[in-house]
Amino acid sequence: MPTYRLSHAAELLGVSDDTLRRWIDAGRVCATVDESGRQAVDGAELAEFARTLASVHPRSATEAVVAHSMRNRFPGLVTRVVRDTVMAQVEIQAGPHRIVSLMSREAADELGLEPGVLAVAAVKSTNVSVEIPEGR
């Protein structure tokens, strides 16, 4: 199983290096020492912690939703909206994830989507492609 240096692990969690160090000091995340003598986090533990972190994410952005069928929900901030006469391209930054949605301009206008607005990207797909980055 791969290990991740603290800076890379923090980036994957969408937090600062200092936050991850505080979580390690508090015992929320276990750190090991890699072959170069630096602190690192085991990949499996990092994945489990990320899942735990996501499950306790504040629900304020979705409180009005009573039920939903989509499991992939990414609360975040709208960072960019590009409108033309018919369509709108909306970008949401949800932790380390940048999500881009294409929708009708009318829908974007009705939702009041502008940079800085809190929104939830709900993703449902029948196909998911998995890639392995170089140098893993």
- Give the per-residue SS3 of 32-81: EECCCCCEEEEHHHHHHHHHHHHHCCCCHHHCCCCCCCCCEEEEEEEEEE
Tell me the average pLDDT of the chain. Answer: 82
Q: Which of 59-68, 99-108, 111-120, 121-130 has the highest mean pLDDT?
A: 99-108
Pick the CATH number of 3-55 from 1.10.1660.10, 1.10.287.1260, 3.40.50.920, 1.20.1260.10: 1.10.1660.10
Percent of all residues in the chain with a pLDDT value above 90, rounded to a whole number = 37
Out of 1-15, 16-30, 82-96, least confident range = 1-15
Give the separation between CA 105 and CA 125, rounded to whole angstroms: 22
pLDDT at 106: 96
Domain spans in the chain, listed from the N-terminal domain onward: 3-55, 61-123
pLDDT at 25: 95
Same fold, 3-55 and 61-123: no
pLDDT in tens, 14-73: 889 999 999 999 999 999 998 899 999 988 888 788 877 766 654 455 456 666 565 778
Q: Would you say residue 130 has pLDDT above 90?
A: no
Which distant-in-sequence residues (6+ apart) come within 8 Å of 109 by Cβ? 83, 88
Domain 61-123: assigned CATH number: 2.40.50.100
pLDDT at 68: 59
Q: Which residue has the higher pLDDT, 128 or 133?
A: 133
Percent of all residues in the chain with a pLDDT value above 70, rounded to a whole number = 79
